[in-house]
Chains A and B, each alone.
Chain A
Amino acid sequence: MSDKTTKKRPMGLKKSRAAKAATTGSQNKRPKDEQSQVINNATPAGMSVDETTEDGGSQLNEDEETIVLEAPEVEEEDNDGQIGEIWGIYQKAIKAMQNPVGISSKQEGGGGDEDLAIKYLRGTIHECDYILKSKYNSLKQKAGSAEGKEGEGEVELVPKFYYVYGMALYTLSELTNPEDAKEYFELSIMRLEQARDKILERSAGDGGRDGGLLKSVYLGLGKSTLSRAKFVDFDKEKEAEKKVVELVNKSLEYFDKALDTETNKEELVKESLIVTDLVFTFVYLFVDIVELQLAVRWGIKKLESIQNGEGQNKKAEIEFSLGNAHWILASHYLDQIDEETGEVPERNTVEKLLTQARDHLKKARENEEEKKTDASESLYDILILLSEVYINLGNIQPEEENQEAEYAKATEVLLVAKKNLPSGQEFPEHLQAFIDESN
């Protein structure tokens, strides 16, 4: 069937408004009076509908319905729009995922359309390859094929191109976990390093006009490097443990650079939370307590640096992350409890870490409860971790009385957690058993 017969035809402004008024029962709106629906930054993959409440202002966009479809922003040097196109496809992938993979362990599996995201990511990589090849071929043609240059050595593309390429490779690997993930992450690191070098080449070292992009590149490098660490093969790679440490330290350096360039305090708080959460999900890879401590302490330092900054609406999240950091450190020792004798290595250290974790989590709970939201998934997470801390504090108490006191606190917290159980989730069996036993 042709377009003409299958596509809906516009009726004309007056008729379409009349039809709408008939279906909604509304009359033509007075200008500057009513709330309206404005569609911004729409791409075929998804339109974001921004329904703003009239606040007394007289925004024309809040009058009659005005639909604004925005093309993606295009690089200045992107005269043929190719970079804009791949950026657009990459953005579609990000939107399709809803929750960017690897940003937060809590968010993984958050219900995004992963299949669609994978499709777009493959499309982005395909387009990037195509652009590189066609640029290379055109360069070769200009230089004369007799010279027989190979590779992409002289192809010059804008930093954003390498950034998108690198991030698409990273995100696709995180989503699909392919057999050759290690190679994918290495390729991703290579592209992101190219993006970084291009930016630094054309600025005095601070990114200049690409400052925002440079920060994103460093964040991407940190993530990719961290993910690469996950795929160190302890059986095949020489000095595997040393390699892991190197990679993680490298990624921390990248994260430092990303956060150091952030001047917006609110953004800094947001990004610090994301980055530290990311690091904490990887530190379980460390066997050596010194390395683990270095990474976690790095995270704690970052979190403490934003504790008194702006963005206090994130207070609960910061306290939760700090509690989590101390819990991770404590867990390292708790995992080494002698199951037969029950002996706790470094008992004093563990108790101190658990106490610190408890104090941070209690603050997180207070802050979250102050928000007075009806159902809070964050509060549930805080309470569950706090109960774990109380239980473990109880476990390491030599005196039964003290032990029972900690258990009682754990029970009390668990009962509140149950009340805040997010819909669609089930209360963990072992925690239910703990409550039952306490009663």
Chain B
Amino acid sequence: MSTEQHQELSSVHSCFGKGLFTPEAQEENIRCYANSQPFRHCCLRPIFNEGLLGKVRKELLDYLHFTLKETDIYKFHQSGDLANLDGLPDHEKAKLQSVQKMRDAIYSQEFRDYIDKITGCGPLSGSRTDMSANIYKDGDHLLLHDDAIGDRRVSYILYMPDPDDEEDHGDWNPENGGALELYPRENKGSWAPAVSPTKKVPPMWNQMAMFIVSPGETHHAVEEIASEKKNKWRLSIQGWFHYPQPGEPGYRVDQMTDVGEATLKQIEAKESRKSGEKGDEFVSYEKPVESVSTPYTQQDKEYLAKYMNPHYLDKNNLATISDAFAEESSVQLGRFLNNNLIEKLLALIGDIDKEDGMCRSRVPSHGTGEVGRWRAVRSPVLRRFLKLDGELVSNTAQSHNQQLPSEVTNRPQPYYDNLELLSNILADVRDNLFGSEAYARWLAHVSTLTLKSRRGIARRFRSGLDYTLASPEGTSGVLDSVLCLAPRIGADAEEKWASGDVGGYECYISTEDDEDDDASVYRHASEDTTLLTVPAGWNTLNLVLRDEGILRFVKYVSAFAPASRWDVAFEYDIDSAGEDEE
């Protein structure tokens, strides 16, 4: 090694934490990586020289602008691309000298070799740098994904929470959320991740978490930041190492297909995702329901009165609703269920949510509420919520032999009694109201559409856990009928739901029809494509006619939400023949 090379190496080493490159540390990291679960990963700490990291943090906070980014899958504050620092004007570059030094160290040959030794990832590109700084504040989150885009080879996250946080004695308190959650596969033969993570990596100061990107395997998420004291936030740098680029050492034309398994997984994942989007089978009516040959009758009115607000059963009132729906193809009906029913529901839901700790501004434990007839719905790649009478196997405890924390399993008996009572009522509403032919005739009368079949479920979106991602859900030409039950528990609850800041709202977005589009593309859809946003409300029925090229999602319900969002969501397949008559 020449003197020059030695100086350079020493300069790179000086950026990192003492001892990182020692054979002992290297051995230990290799061992940790090899034994890690649920998929191979490692955490290096202290990764950087404390002085350098402190300067980097200061530069990032002093000179970078962080923009709020929000879609169905994430909400956080992101800086511009740190990989392109070289293109900055000199005076700006001068302000970010430490950041540039750190970036160069991360993508140095020495560190890339080090990563290869630990993970066995093979050669990595030194020319293609890819990193940005993120701030996660209260309510910010990044839902489950596997990072498999393009030629990404290794993912890394460098954590820089406030090292001088007196409250938490300089360390991040895991109770404030913000951890990196790692998800196992459901089983060896499945592409799909389990419904809950089995490992959480808290965002500790000067720690770098990393793993080889593996499609359909490296499913991870960033837990929402949620603290009762509020205003907690953490800074991190997220980046990727890519496969060598053409001309770089180690580059091979077939380097991507080299991992044939991964490509296969990608194809499988895409196919499975498509089948996952299809949902349950529709159940046909005996004959198509429409307002002329199968009119809404007095008998229907009497039947529906057991469930619905009588105001909505009167034909005179329905004329107004029908006109509004015809005009907008969507309408929301407040106070939809009758008082008798809704009073019972409010009392039960309030008690259950309170017992489950839904109103505490804390991310609840995974598995919360997965009891009795309430089952977690997989896959979190697309959705996570509890479904009444869903498959038992998907529950956190069953799906991965996970021991649930005692606060999730130990509930007083009245909780289970209330849950059973609530389940019975919601099942009755699901089957005997929304599943009934009388309701179909009412709906046909209001919508002037012909209904062929229906499917529907009762759901619970737990605050701090649940969501659906933008998806066409397998079909179009469908009339959505969603009864939303988002209780207004606590101060400003109505405002919180209405603002959308705590999520829980249902969003319809437009996309170009393209068979080859992958769902992950939709998830980064521009806000300009938003067609309709329906805030979570209490006892409101939302009717929307979904035509071609529409995706919808229920935004992740924040831990700061006043309660869970409960709903009964139905889809009615409509006969589109004659739709263009008007």
Decide if B245 is an interface residue (CB 8 Å cutoff). no
In the complex, the chain A residue whose C-beta lies closest to that of B445 is A3
**Is B339 in contact with A75, judged by CB distance below 8 angstroms?**
yes
Within the complex, what minimum Cβ distance (angstroms) separates A331 from chain B? 49
Contact status of A8 and B499, CB under 8 A, knowing A67-B330, A69-B331, A71-B335: no
**Is B309 in contact with A11, judged by CB distance below 8 angstroms?**
no
A: contact size bracket: 35 or more
Decide if B38 is an interface residue (CB 8 Å cutoff). no
**Is B447 in contact with A10, judged by CB distance below 8 angstroms?**
yes
**Is B332 in contact with A81, judged by CB distance below 8 angstroms?**
no
B66-94 to A contact mask, C-beta < 8 Å, 1/0: 00000000000000000000000000000
Within the complex, what minimum Cβ distance (angstroms) separates A48 from chain B? 13
Decide if A425 is an interface residue (CB 8 Å cutoff). no
Question: B313 — which chain A residues lie within 8 A by C-beta?
Answer: 81
Decide if B281 is an interface residue (CB 8 Å cutoff). no
**Is B505 in contact with A11, judged by CB distance below 8 angstroms?**
no
Decide if B365 is an interface residue (CB 8 Å cutoff). no
Task: Point out the residue from B311, B323, B529, B545 that lies within 8 Å of A28, measured CB to CB.
Answer: B529
Question: A59 — which chain B residues lie within 8 A by C-beta?
Answer: 498-500, 535
**Is A12 in contact with B545, judged by CB distance below 8 angstroms?**
yes
**Is A4 in contact with B508, judged by CB distance below 8 angstroms?**
no
Within the complex, what minimum Cβ distance (angstroms) separates A376 from chain B? 35
A5-36 to B contact mask, C-beta < 8 Å, 1/0: 00111111111110000000001111110000
**Is B498 in contact with A42, judged by CB distance below 8 angstroms?**
no
Within the complex, what minimum Cβ distance (angstroms) separates B512 from chain A? 11
Decide if B527 is an interface residue (CB 8 Å cutoff). yes
Contact status of A14 and B290, CB under 8 A, knowing A28-B528, A57-B499: no
Decide if B317 is an interface residue (CB 8 Å cutoff). yes
**Is A79 in contact with B319, judged by CB distance below 8 angstroms?**
no
Question: B500 — which chain A residues lie within 8 A by C-beta?
Answer: 31-32, 58-60, 63
**Is B498 in contact with A61, judged by CB distance below 8 angstroms?**
yes
A61-111 CB contacts (< 8 Å) to partner B: 61, 63-76, 78-82, 84-85, 88
Question: A82 — which chain B residues lie within 8 A by C-beta?
Answer: 310
Is the contact region of chain B dominated by helix, strand, or loop, or is it mixed? mixed
**Is B533 in contact with A67, judged by CB distance below 8 angstroms?**
no
Within the complex, what minimum Cβ distance (angstroms) separates B422 from chain A? 20
Contact status of A14 and B548, CB under 8 A, knowing A3-B292, A4-B290, A68-B332: yes
Question: A151 — which chain B residues lie within 8 A by C-beta?
Answer: none
**Is B332 in contact with A9, judged by CB distance below 8 angstroms?**
no
Decide if B530 is an interface residue (CB 8 Å cutoff). yes
Question: B507 — which chain A residues lie within 8 A by C-beta?
Answer: 31
Distance, CA A57 to CA B548, complexed state (A) = 32
Question: A10 — which chain B residues lie within 8 A by C-beta?
Answer: 325-329, 447-449, 545
Task: Point out the residue from B305, B333, B335 that lies within 8 Å of A73, measured CB to CB.
Answer: B335
Distance, CA A88 to CA B309, complexed state (A) = 12
**Is B499 in contact with A69, judged by CB distance below 8 angstroms?**
no
Question: B328 — which chain A residues lie within 8 A by C-beta?
Answer: 10, 16, 65, 67
- In addition to A61-B498, A69-B320, 15 A-B residue pairs with Cβ atoms within 8 Å of each other are A3-B445, A8-B323, A8-B448, A13-B329, A13-B545, A14-B550, A28-B530, A30-B528, A31-B507, A32-B500, A57-B499, A74-B309, A74-B335, A81-B339, A84-B310
List the 4 closest pairs (A to B, CB-CB), nearest first. Answer: A12-B547, A81-B310, A71-B311, A70-B334
* A–B pairs, 8, beta carbons within 8 Å: A9-B582, A32-B500, A44-B316, A61-B535, A71-B309, A71-B333, A75-B339, A76-B343
- A positions within 8 Å CB-CB of B: 2-4, 7-17, 27-32, 39-40, 42-44, 47, 57-61, 63-76, 78-82, 84-85, 88
